[in-house]
Amino acid sequence: MELAAEKEGTPGGGPQRNVKEEQVLEGVRLKEEGCLKREEMDGAQVKEEPQTKPRVGCKRKLAMSRCGTCGTEEAKYRCPRCMRYSCSLRCVKKHKAELPCNGVRDRTAYVSLQQFTEMNLLSDYRFLEDVARTADQVSRDTFLKRPKHKKYLFFMKNRARKQGIFLRLLPNGFSKRKENSTVFDHRKQQFCWHVKLQFPQSQAEYVEKRVPDNKTINEILKPYIDPEKSDPVIRQRLKAYVHSQTGIQILMRVENMQQNIIRYYELDPDKSLLDNLRNKVIIEYPILHVVLKGSINGVQLLHQVKSESPQKLGEGN
């Protein structure tokens, strides 16, 4: 009987074992598929990471092909002002000469919120610090803090007249009156002039403040057109004057001419500012026109011998 039961139970146990084995094999297959999917996902993340999160400190190559000036060489530099690409120092200078660009980054340029970074934030912070420092220096300046009342203005005119200069001051509200920073130094007993320099051949204009009247015009122009001592950016803009073979002339417009006739004095660059301004009418401050010799066709010069008497020119002071 026992043998019969064993024989009868054998066919019933066979199917149960097969079902269990199939379930185990299916579980192993599912685990293998899950592992493969995980490996594929990990590989995809590894490949995407360098694109979305570049390594900190790695140098990114400039994304351009050719120089924006010559168009032949591969670019190596980018102008912080106009963002133009260049390949060499020669192309950098050429693009500054061709475009109205000085190569200095515009610290007040607009930056969108999407492109705003920590470097922009730091730059803005430093810019505000510089503005606060400049405002503090102006507030401490004794000359600028001193109110220019009518009594002081009359003193300035009388002092200038004693030196042979016929100084005329405009009413409040005129732009030249606001710009004028001319003062009289009581300790040194001399004028410190506000001087405007105009370079028509380069379409440039600069302002010099607190220029002592014993300084020569050549010394005033040295930071602008001297081949060695001038500022590189200014020298590049005024290269027509720096490399001029004919030389320069210093002109100043004659004020109070009748019938609005335009005439100019020719000043001596080797003499002091005081010597050049004597016996001339100055409205607020002197404006010097620096021109190249031979390029003043149509400009009529009025020499001191042919000019009207200083007393007539100085009327109204």
Sign of the C-alpha dihedral computed for residues 189, 192, 193 and 194 taken in this order:
negative
Tell me the residue ranges of DSSP E strands in the chain: 77-78, 85-86, 166-168, 183-185, 190-199, 204-212, 248-253, 264-267, 281-283, 287-292
Which pLDDT belongs to residue 39? Answer: 59
Which pLDDT belongs to residue 142? Answer: 59
pTM: 0.51
Phi, psi (degrees; rounded to nearest 5) at 52: -90, -35
Which pLDDT belongs to residue 303? Answer: 58
Which pLDDT belongs to residue 120? Answer: 86
Which pLDDT belongs to residue 143? Answer: 57
Q: Which domains does the chain have, with CATH numbers?
A: 66-106 (no CATH), 141-313 (3.10.20.90)
Residues facing residue 197 across a β-bridge? 206, 288
Contacts of 67 (CB under 8 A, 6+ apart): 73, 74, 75, 85, 86, 87, 88, 91
Which pLDDT belongs to residue 54? Answer: 46
> Which parts of the chain register pLDDT below 70?
1-65, 141-148, 259-260, 296-317
Which pLDDT belongs to residue 298? Answer: 60
Tell me the residue ranges of DSSP E strands in 83-189: 85-86, 166-168, 183-185
Which pLDDT belongs to residue 20? Answer: 61
Which pLDDT belongs to residue 307? Answer: 42
